[in-house]
């Protein structure tokens, strides 16, 4: 199997290569669950999606997709002089209806607007209007950013339920690849719960939807949309040898975005649970056989830190965590994602493989940030 050479963020575009536009009309498959709430969108008949479903979804959701430009100060000095230079970052976003005093919000990626102040960010609406964000919230660990759009009479896109997304489901991706605003591409959900990709040291929460919809640099922050016209993901990265689309792209599930957004708006930061273990970066067939398992499953514990929830629960190095409550653990990234969704103080049940047999332990989840502060303060 040929390995992908590079994982690429989708923000930032400084060139326009040779682009070929093409259109291929195809009969859409059966998607009986696709429904619209508005009268103008006719319901599905006999389980078959209308031939113009793509056009309907694109027409409805494209006006809510924005182009974002951010001017940042480069970390390194310019080669021509001794001072730092400004760099331009570009990406996409989608407008959603907010809550309380925040009537409209824009969802995007943190890496699109990171290190930029509100006065350095320009939000281009589909109708040509320009805005600065009134406020910015960001979570580097999930690469989610939320911008307050202080505007009136702007279109919004509804949020869907990413937990219900199925492999093979048709989707649209809308964004600004290579600076080409309001670009619409289509594809399917290729896989779910992808976490074995490297996207930088700050991004710890990785639980992506994979799609083959054409996504290119400049699409970061744009929405992934189902055939009901709902946002089910925020496009984040591509797997590519040359930085352009190769049919493997990744989106943050919208349910994860919702959880992050809720914490950011209510508390200004995201609270996450933790156990206090270091997991083995690889867990292969040879490791499973050595431990007496007949398949590679769960997450292998490498280190248990003292005075942590894991230590209090009785976890040990070389334990394999197989299940959390009623959910089987697929790998280390899956475990990290599951634990991070719990709040401090929640009691969870762990099914653990130890000494060639399965045991049950109980742990009280701790606060991630407090745990990190405690670990850093230890000699």
Catalytic positions, written as ranges: 111, 143, 220
Q: Cα dist. 7→72, 143, 171, 237, 370 in Å?
A: 23, 15, 22, 7, 31
* Contact between residue 108 and residue 64 where contact means Cβ atoms under 8 Å apart: no
261 phi and psi, to 5 degrees? Answer: -60, -40
Intra-chain end-to-end CA distance of the chain, in Å:
44
Q: Is residue 4 within a helix (H) or strand (E), and if so which, with residue range? A: none
* Contact between residue 354 and residue 319 where contact means Cβ atoms under 8 Å apart: yes
Q: What is the 3-state secondary structure (H, E, C) of 296-327?
A: CCCEEEEEECCCCHHHHHCCCCCCEEEEECCE
How many helices (H) and strands (E) the chain has is answered by 7, 22
Residue indicated by tokens 């493997």: 248
Tokens for 358, please give them.
Answer: 């399965």
371 phi and psi, to 5 degrees? Answer: -65, -40
* Contact between residue 180 and residue 317 where contact means Cβ atoms under 8 Å apart: no
Tokens for 170, please give them.
Answer: 């048709």
Q: Is the dihedral of CA 254, 260, 266, 268 positive or negative?
A: negative
Q: Is the dihedral of CA 251, 254, 260, 261 positive or negative?
A: positive
Instruction: Give the span between the Cα atoms of 160 and 346, in whole angstroms.
Output: 27
* Contact between residue 279 and residue 299 where contact means Cβ atoms under 8 Å apart: yes
Tokens for 343, please give them.
Answer: 């709040």
């Amino acid at each position: 199997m040929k390995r992908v050479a590079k994982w690429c963020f989708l923000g930032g575009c400084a060139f326009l290569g040779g682009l070929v536009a093409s259109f291929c009309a195809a009969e859409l498959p059966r998607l009986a669950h696709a429904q619209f709430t508005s009268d103008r969108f006719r319901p599905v008949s006999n389980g078959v999606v209308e031939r113009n479903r793509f056009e309907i979804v694109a027409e409805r959701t494209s006006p809510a997709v924005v182009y974002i430009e951010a001017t940042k100060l480069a970390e390194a000095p310019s080669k021509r002089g001794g001072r730092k230079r400004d760099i331009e970052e570009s990406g996409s976003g989608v407008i959603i209806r907010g809550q309380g005093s925040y009537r409209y919000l824009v969802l995007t990626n943190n890496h699109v607007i990171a290190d930029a102040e509100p006065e350095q960010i320009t939000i281009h609406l589909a109708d040509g209007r320009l805005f600065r964000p009134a406020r910015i919230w960001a979570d580097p660990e999930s690469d989610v950013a939320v911008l307050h759009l202080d505007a009136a009479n702007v279109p919004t896109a509804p949020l869907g339920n990413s937990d219900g997304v199925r492999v093979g489901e048709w989707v649209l991706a809308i964004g600004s690849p290579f600076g080409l605003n309001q670009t619409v591409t289509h594809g399917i959900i290729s896989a779910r719960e992808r976490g074995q990709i490297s996207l930088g040291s700050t991004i710890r929460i990785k639980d992506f939807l994979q799609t083959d919809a054409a996504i290119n640099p400049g699409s970061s922050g744009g929405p992934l949309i189902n055939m009901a016209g709902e946002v089910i993901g925020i496009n984040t990265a591509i797997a590519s040898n040359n930085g352009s689309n190769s049919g493997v792209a990744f989106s943050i599930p919208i349910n994860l975005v919702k959880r992050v957004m809720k914490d950011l708006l209510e508390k200004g930061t995201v609270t996450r649970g933790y156990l206090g273990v270091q997991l083995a970066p690889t867990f292969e067939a040879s490791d499973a056989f050595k431990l007496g398992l007949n398949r590679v499953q769960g997450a292998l514990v490498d280190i248990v830190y003292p005075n942590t929830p894991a230590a209090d629960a009785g976890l040990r190095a070389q334990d394999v965590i197989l299940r959390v409550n009623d959910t089987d653990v697929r790998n280390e990234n899956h475990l990290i994602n599951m634990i991070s969704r719990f709040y401090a103080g929640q009691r969870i049940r762990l099914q653990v493989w130890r000494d060639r047999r399965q045991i049950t332990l109980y742990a009280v989840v701790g606060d991630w940030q407090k745990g990190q502060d405690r670990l850093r303060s230890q000699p």
